[in-house]
């Protein structure tokens, strides 16, 4: 029953959202058209605005409306600290923790030679430029604990240390509130390896 070309087009388009399959796309399409046309209008407008106005910060590579983002241009941030993350959402999570006051660099990915993603693709030359400015005293590596994230951290750590700058890795272990019984063995191994004097 392909009587609704426009409706089918909407279902197809909604499948471009991450984690949305045919059933969810249909549910979303019907929901918006039946019950929230105002919401549909807002989504369409917000997408158009974002596409038009959001680009990458020239310094940290994060998504930004301005050439240099609010974090990079904030006078209060500690310019001797640089934290390297894989994605804008990682940056948001770290900001929400409220304890980090330095600057960031967003790789927009991770090293993955098999997929053709090398140092140039994740902006390593731009990190080298930032380090060359001389203000950064420590780089905090906050890539994810995946094979690629770890490889990226090792690569960066070598490159940073070669410039006589301190490279640190955020601690990985049992999450606060987590129970040993329900913690996976990789996390536990990491927690044990990273133990400190109590």
Instruction: Give the binding site for a copy of itself (CB under 8 A).
Output: 1, 3-7, 9-10, 12-14, 16-19, 23-24, 26-34, 36-37, 39-51, 53-54, 63-66, 69-71, 87-89, 92, 95, 108, 181-182
Least Å from the CB of residue 169 to a copy of itself: 23
Shortest Cβ distance from residue 165 to a copy of itself (Å)?
26
Q: Least separation, in Å, of the C-beta of 125 and a copy of itself?
A: 19
Q: Could you tell me the smallest distance in angstroms from the CB atom of residue 68 to a copy of itself?
A: 11
C-beta of 11 vs 140, nearer to a copy of itself = 11
| Residue with smaller CB distance to a copy of itself, 34 or 133 | 34
Q: Which is nearer to a copy of itself, 92 or 145 (CB)?
A: 92
Question: What is the nearest approach in angstroms of a copy of itself to the Cβ of residue 161?
Answer: 29
Distance CA 74, CA 47 (A): 27
Chain centroid to CA 126: how far? 17
Give the 3-state DSSP-derived string for 68-108, with helices as H, strands as E and coil as C.
CCHHHHCCCCEEEEEEEECCHHHHHHHHHHCCCCEEEEECC
Complex with a copy of itself: residue 89 or 186, whichever CB lies closer: 89
Q: Is 45 left (phi over 0), alpha (psi -120 to 50) or beta?
A: alpha
Cα radius of gyration (the chain): 21
Nearer to a copy of itself, 47 or 135 (CB): 47
Q: Among residues 99 and 198, whose Cβ is nearest to a copy of itself?
A: 99
Burial of 113 (0-12, 13-18, 19+ CB in 10 A): exposed
Q: Least distance from C-beta 66 to a copy of itself, angstroms?
A: 8
Pairing between β-strand 102-106 and β-strand 78-85 as defined by DSSP bridges: parallel
Q: Are 93 and 48 in contact (CB under 8 A)?
A: no
3-state secondary structure of 27: helix
């Amino acid at each position: 029953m392909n009587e609704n070309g426009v409706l089918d087009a909407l279902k197809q388009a909604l499948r471009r959202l991450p984690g949305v399959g045919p059933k969810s796309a249909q549910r979303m399409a019907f929901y918006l058209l039946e019950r929230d046309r105002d919401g549909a209008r807002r989504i369409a407008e917000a997408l158009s605005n974002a596409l038009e106005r959001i680009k990458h910060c020239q310094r940290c590579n994060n998504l930004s409306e301005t050439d240099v983002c609010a974090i990079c241009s904030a006078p209060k941030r500690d310019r001797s600290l640089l934290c390297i993350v894989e994605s804008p959402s990682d940056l948001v999570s770290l900001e929400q923790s409220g304890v980090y006051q330095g600057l960031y660099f967003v790789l927009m990915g991770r090293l993955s030679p098999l997929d053709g993603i090398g140092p140039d693709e994740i902006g390593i030359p731009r990190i080298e430029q930032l380090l060359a400015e001389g203000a950064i005293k420590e780089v905090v590596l906050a890539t994810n604990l995946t094979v690629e994230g770890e490889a990226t951290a090792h690569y960066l750590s070598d490159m940073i240390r070669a410039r006589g700058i301190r490279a640190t890795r955020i601690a990985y272990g049992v999450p606060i509130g987590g129970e040993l019984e329900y913690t996976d063995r990789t996390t536990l191994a990491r927690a044990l390896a990273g133990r400190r004097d109590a």
